[in-house]
Copies of this chain bind each other. A is one copy, B any other.
Amino acid sequence: MNRWALGIDIGGTNTAFGLVDEDGHVHYSNNFRTTDFPTADELAKRIFEDIEGNSGAAHLISGIGIGAPNGNYHNGTIEFAPNLKWEGVIPLANIFKSYFNKPTTVTNDANAAALGEMLFGVAKGMNDFVLVTLGTGLGSGFVCHGKMLYGHTGMAGELGHIVIKPNGRACGCGRKGCLETYASATGFKRTVAALQKKYQKSGKAVRSPLPRISAKHLTTLAEQGDALALEAFDITARHLARGLATAVAITSPQAVILAGGLARSGHTLTDPLEQHLNRELLVIFQDKVTVLISELLDDNAAVLGAAALVLQH
């Protein structure tokens, strides 16, 4: 009998969930606005009622996997997530267990995405890789020797908050120069905004006024040869390369997999990234790491990743 998992991706804005089988097929899915629920308990209750009432398959669930910001694998908790209004430490696994009465596992969203990639995406068969999500922030999940790296605290894999530029851009974490202030959808926008000022001062024509900054739009401009757009991707790639070179020096993965909104820029990002990375890498790691784009960039990716927490076993 094919086992099914309930995969739940809790984001700052939206919570998506679905019933996923071992082949990665999504049999039922739905989503709610996270911000509509004052407590995690109310969200869990609503998802339980939805699955019981609408999926027709609640009895097939063998376990629940949840990807959530600041999700702690060891404790089954969300801990001080800055972009959720549920404050402090939330005993998320226990809350969901109280409704579903099924084994429930929690991890952060980037770790869940890495597991999804290992079971259903470009990392199939890989034992050592890093998944990097370039979204509002930069999240990362490290798989080492075939296993998710959780560390002593259960919170390992915070590549977004390594300092790559001392006294650099201010970061939401309170420090300066963190990788995610440069290499994320948000960091990319800051780079574009800074370039627009620079270009305007120098009298160069700027084709994209501020309100239209988006990675998608800039990708199109870069493909058309727009100097500002090309420079924005080059700067982003250079900083990302420095952060990845650090990740490689410590964990020596066979691949770096890019996911999240900015990863949709594809070669416009990876071409300069590979150039910078080869320069930044220690010589023993050169030509030993492949840069790949996630195969799970569609809407179900996060749900597949969360389900993979259960289905990996």
User: Whole-angstrom distance between the alpha carbons of A96 and B184 in the complex?
Assistant: 49
Please give the distance in Å from A147's CB to the nearest CB on chain B.
7
Q: A165 — which chain B residues lie within 8 A by C-beta? A: 166
Q: Does A276 contact B (CB under 8 A)?
A: no
Q: A79 — which chain B residues lie within 8 A by C-beta? A: 284
With A163-B246, A246-B246 given, is the CB distance from A151 to B251 under 8 Å? Answer: yes
Q: Does A162 contact B (CB under 8 A)?
A: yes
User: Whole-angstrom distance between the alpha carbons of A249 and B251 in the complex?
Assistant: 12
Residue on B with the closest CB to A126?
B152
Q: Which of B150, B155, B247, B280 contacts A163 (CB 8 A)?
A: B280
Q: Does A142 contact B (CB under 8 A)?
A: yes
Q: Does A300 contact B (CB under 8 A)?
A: no
Q: A152 contacts B246, CB within 8 Å? A: no
Residue on B with the closest CB to A80?
B284
Q: Does A227 contact B (CB under 8 A)?
A: no
Q: B247 contacts A174, CB within 8 Å? A: no
Interface hits, A11-40 → B, CB 8 Å: none
Q: Does A282 contact B (CB under 8 A)?
A: yes
Q: Which of B154, B162, B280, B288 contacts A250 (CB 8 A)?
A: B162
Number of interface residues, chain A, beta carbon within 8 A? 46
Q: B254 contacts A155, CB within 8 Å? A: no
Q: A253 contacts B152, CB within 8 Å? A: yes
Q: A145 contacts B155, CB within 8 Å? A: no
Q: A205 — which chain B residues lie within 8 A by C-beta? A: none
Residue on B with the closest CB to A247?
B250
Q: Which of B152, B247, B283 contacts A252 (CB 8 A)?
A: B152
Interface string of A214-247 (1 = CB under 8 A from B): 0000000000000000000000000000100111
Q: Does A295 contact B (CB under 8 A)?
A: no
Residue on B with the closest CB to A145?
B147
Q: Does A158 contact B (CB under 8 A)?
A: yes
Q: Does A67 contact B (CB under 8 A)?
A: no
Interface string of A48-82 (1 = CB under 8 A from B): 00000000000000000000001000000001100
Q: A163 — which chain B residues lie within 8 A by C-beta? A: 164, 242, 245-246, 280
Q: A149 — which chain B residues lie within 8 A by C-beta? A: 144-145, 251
Please give the distance in Å from A30's CB to the nearest CB on chain B.
31
Please give the distance in Å from A207's CB to the nearest CB on chain B.
30
Q: Does A153 contact B (CB under 8 A)?
A: yes
Please give the distance in Å from A291's CB to the nearest CB on chain B.
14
With A79-B284, A282-B158, A282-B161 given, is the CB distance from A151 to B242 under 8 Å? Answer: no
Q: Provide 20 A-B residue pairs closer than 8 Å at the C-beta atoms, listed in order of the A residue.
A: A128-B152, A151-B251, A151-B252, A152-B253, A153-B252, A153-B284, A155-B252, A156-B252, A158-B282, A158-B284, A158-B285, A159-B249, A163-B164, A163-B246, A165-B166, A173-B283, A246-B246, A246-B250, A247-B250, A250-B250
Listed from nearest, the 7 A-B pairs whose CB atoms lie closest are A151-B252, A156-B252, A152-B254, A128-B152, A158-B249, A162-B246, A161-B282
